[in-house]
Amino acid sequence: MSEERKPLNFIEQIIEEDLANGMSKNNLRFRFPPEPNGYLHIGHTKAIGISFGLGEKYNAPVNLRFDDTNPAKEEQEYVDAIKEDVAWLGYKWDKELFSSDYFQQLYDWAIHFIKEGKAYIDSQSSEAMAEQKGTPTQPGVDGPYRNRTVAENLELFERMKNGEFDEGSHILRAKIDMQHPNMLMRDPIMYRILKKEHHRTGNTWCIYPMYDWTHGESDYIEQISHSLCSLEFKPHRELYDWFLDQVVDQSLIRPKQREFARLNLSYTIMSKRKLLQLVNDGIVNGWDDPRMPTISGLRRRGYTPNAIRKFVETVGVAKRDNIIDVSLLEFCIREDLNKTAPRVMAVLDPVKVIITNYPEGKEEWFDAENNQEDETAGFRKVPFSKELYIEKDDFKEEASNKFFRLKLGGEVRLKNAYIIKAENVVKDNEGNIKEIQCTYSEDTSKKVKGTLHWVSIKHAIKAEVREYDRLFIDEAPDSHQDKDFMEFVNPNSLKTIKAFVEPSLKEAKIGECFQFQRLGYFNVDNDSSSEQLVFNKTVGLRDTWAKQKPKQNNNQPQKPSNSQQQRKAIDVIQKLGKKYTNLSEEKQLKVKAEIQELAKNVSYDELQPLFNTAVKKVGTRIAVALALAVLLQNGQERNGDVNDFINKALEDKNELLVFEAKALS
């Protein structure tokens, strides 16, 4: 078997390098460290996928560690929800751990720091400390308590721990460097007083360690080899390493923090705080609302772990900011459901069809294939009768032959049943179509272009269908400095429909996924009961017909084409020039004309700097020559610079350039 080299992402490359440099594969260990202060969302799935994915790839353990150092925000409810979500995604953690497990060890180390003169108690207000800290562009200054004696520090810290002081009156800081260019190194806080009950340690502690102090040391205690987090923690790495330096035993694994770009999805927000606001403001009905990008929301919407994992895998891992198009997510769920979801028929927006030549009272039960993508899926029975529903959109009195659904005088196939022909329509006083009268033919071998889905009115079950649209109408709702993301909330993100579904769906269970043929994928919502079936639309089928129809809603995002036009002519010329020499002769002529046209809007001052373009950049020089010709024609005088440029071009070995230069001389 030839070994295929699958490209490695930069984190895998780092690991491979470490392995090559002698690290044992057995020492590989990862962790996923959520703070239990909210629900996991699709963005977290990337972090989960990276660390757990590495665990699977290298057969290494992955800990689930709750970063619970702030009792004010964290709750058991979130711990449970997070565990459920990670497990649902199909990942298995090695140990379930909590940073709070390490509070004693952290405390002991802190004492050690104080004794070594590497930490001290500060007793100022947070405002005073913030002022001394400086700004990103200005260094900080030492505070008045920075040089307390070890004995004094030890005593105060002891009393902090014993609860003798109020919140905010003292803190423990690492003693590093108040002038450090990295603000995180300007004597960062290690402990603060918080007289709150902790979800796990109760009232044992009233001082709690800060993230920076806790995280690296927790990694070290657990012997995590690679500690992976998102980009905004990059500046923390220096501090992470500093803290580690103070305690690390050379014979043990020293964890490495590495950072990747977090996932952003178009038309979506990822901030827990903002998601919470949607919940609190009643924009959505809870964290698991199917419109939410939370894992629980996606689950309820009908997304599968498979699809989400595939998505995260496809998205890749790198270090630059990104916005992933939701269409990729939709592709992943369609791809998965196409293979697995049983097909059924449902009519969401019904219009009545009467089959005039079908006997009154007769019914037939046809075999219908459950899933042509899956041979083992089998068949079910669907009932047929004289009166049916089809979709309103599937009928037009008159239409061009591009419309191959039902029209007067035309024939279509009813999926799994007969071919019918529309003969007549009955309308109410206002001209709305009340029923379509058709005749059927038992010859089903005939070739007809359209196939429609339908339900027998007599047998159909009423069901509620919830159709969702994106929650925001802006591609990046929280990226506008001047506008609040709430301004972009889509008021029509939920549409509730009374639909008719085939009777086989009567026994459908909560969570089950179906393809409503020709419409999309739907799953049974939690709100569903034996009296009232409720479906969520997970995602529609690809609909190439909809694209052909003239667009009715002109809310199309404006094309960024004007920004293209606004690009300065000289820049465009430069760009065109670059590829000039690689083009076919025919295309060269086109580009040449384009450059000549653009050159009319170029000033000499813009062009002049390009005269000394590097010799090897022939294409650019040709473009300059072409533009120069236009300028000269329009009265630009030939000065020394111009002549130098021309002469140099004449001496070039590239024929095209020489040709254009000759035209100038």
Partner RNA sequence: UGGCCUAUGGUGUAACUGGCAACACGUUGGUUUUUGGUACCAAAGAGUCUAGGUUCGAGCCCUAGUAGGCCAACCA
Interface with RNA in residues 507-526 (CB under 7 A): 515, 517-518
Q: Is 167 in the site for RNA (CB under 7 A)?
A: yes
The answer to whether 500 and 463 are in contact (CB under 8 A) is yes
Closer residue to RNA in complex, CB, 271/634: 271
The residue among 286 and 540 lying less far from RNA, judged by its C-beta, is: 540
Residue 620 as a binder of RNA (CB under 7 A): the answer is yes
Helix (H, G, I), strand (E, B) or coil at 87: helix
Q: How far is the CB of 274 from RNA (least distance, A)?
A: 12
Q: Closest Cα partner for 507 from 493, 490, 489, 524?
A: 524
Q: Which of 45, 51, 70, 257 touches RNA by CB under 7 A?
A: 70
- Residue with smaller CB distance to RNA, 56 or 367: 367
Calpha distance 489→472 (Å, rounded): 5
CB hemisphere CA count around 660 (13 angstroms): 29
**Closest approach of Cβ 90 to RNA, in Å?**
21
Q: How far is CA 569 from the centre of its chain?
A: 36
> Degrees (nearest 5) of the Cα angle 474, 545, 436?
115
According to CB under 7 A, which residues from 104 to 133 bind RNA? 124-126, 129-130, 133
Minimum CB separation from RNA for residue 226, in Å? Answer: 16
Tokens of residue 416, six digits: 């799994």
Q: Reply yes or no on whether 549 is catalytic.
A: no
Rounded Cα distance, 46 and 262, in Å: 7
| 146, 148, 254, 262: the active-site residue | 262
- Establish whether 35 is a catalytic residue: yes
Q: Which is nearer to RNA, 493 or 620 (CB)?
A: 620
Q: Please identify which residue in 51, 69, 268, 538 interacts with RNA, judged by CB under 7 A.
A: 69
Minimum CB distance to RNA smaller for 171 or for 289: 171
Residue 456 burial by Cβ neighbours in a 10 Å radius (0-12, 13-18, 19+) = buried
The 213-232 site mask, x for binding RNA (CB under 7 A), equals --x---------------xx
| Look-up of token digits 């070994």 | 3
Binding map of RNA across residues 260-299, x = CB under 7 A, - = no contact: -x--------------------------------------
Residue (300 or 334) nearer to RNA, CB:
334
Phi and psi at residue 512, to the nearest 5° = -65, 145
Residue 587: CB minimum distance to RNA, A:
8
Between the alpha carbon of residue 143 and those of residues 125, 131, 150, 177, 209, the distances in Å are 11, 10, 16, 11, 21
3-state secondary structure string, 330-395? HHHHHHHHHHHCCEECEECCEEEEEECCCCCCCCEEEEEECCCCCHHHCEEEEEECCEEEEEHHHE
Task: Pick the piece of the chain touching RNA (CB under 7 A) from 109-117, 297-305, 449-457, 528-536.
Answer: 449-457
574-593 binders of RNA (CB under 7 A) = 574-575, 578-579, 582
403 touches RNA (CB under 7 A): yes
Is residue 35 a contact residue for RNA (CB under 7 A)?
Answer: yes
Select the residue interacting with RNA from 444, 492, 643, 665 (CB under 7 A).
444
* Positions 465 through 494 that interact with RNA (CB under 7 A): none
Instruction: Closer to RNA by CB, 213 or 500: give it.
Output: 213
Q: Does 537 bind RNA (CB under 7 A)?
A: no
Which alpha helices (H) appear in 196-303, and where do they start and end?
Answer: 211-222, 236-247, 272-280, 295-301
State the nearest-atom distance from the C-beta of 193 to RNA, in Å.
6
Amino acid of residue 560: P
Task: Enter the tokens of residue 651.
Answer: 């001496």
What value, to the nearest 5°, has the Cα angle with vertex 346 and ends 344 and 350? 160
Of the two residues 162 and 322, which places its CB atom closer to RNA in the complex?
A: 322
At position 511, the amino acid (one-letter code) is G
Residues 325-384 that bind RNA (CB under 7 A): 325, 327-328, 331, 334-335, 338, 343, 371-373
Q: Does the annotation count 387 as an active-site position?
A: no
Q: Which residue has the tokens 């000549």?
A: 596
Q: Is 8 in the site for RNA (CB under 7 A)?
A: yes
Rounded to the nearest 5°, which phi and psi values hold at 340? -115, -25
Q: Per CB under 7 A, which of residues 410..439 are in contact with RNA?
A: 413, 415-417
Answer for which of 245, 543, 597, 641 binds RNA (CB under 7 A) is: 543
Catalytic residues: 35, 262, 272
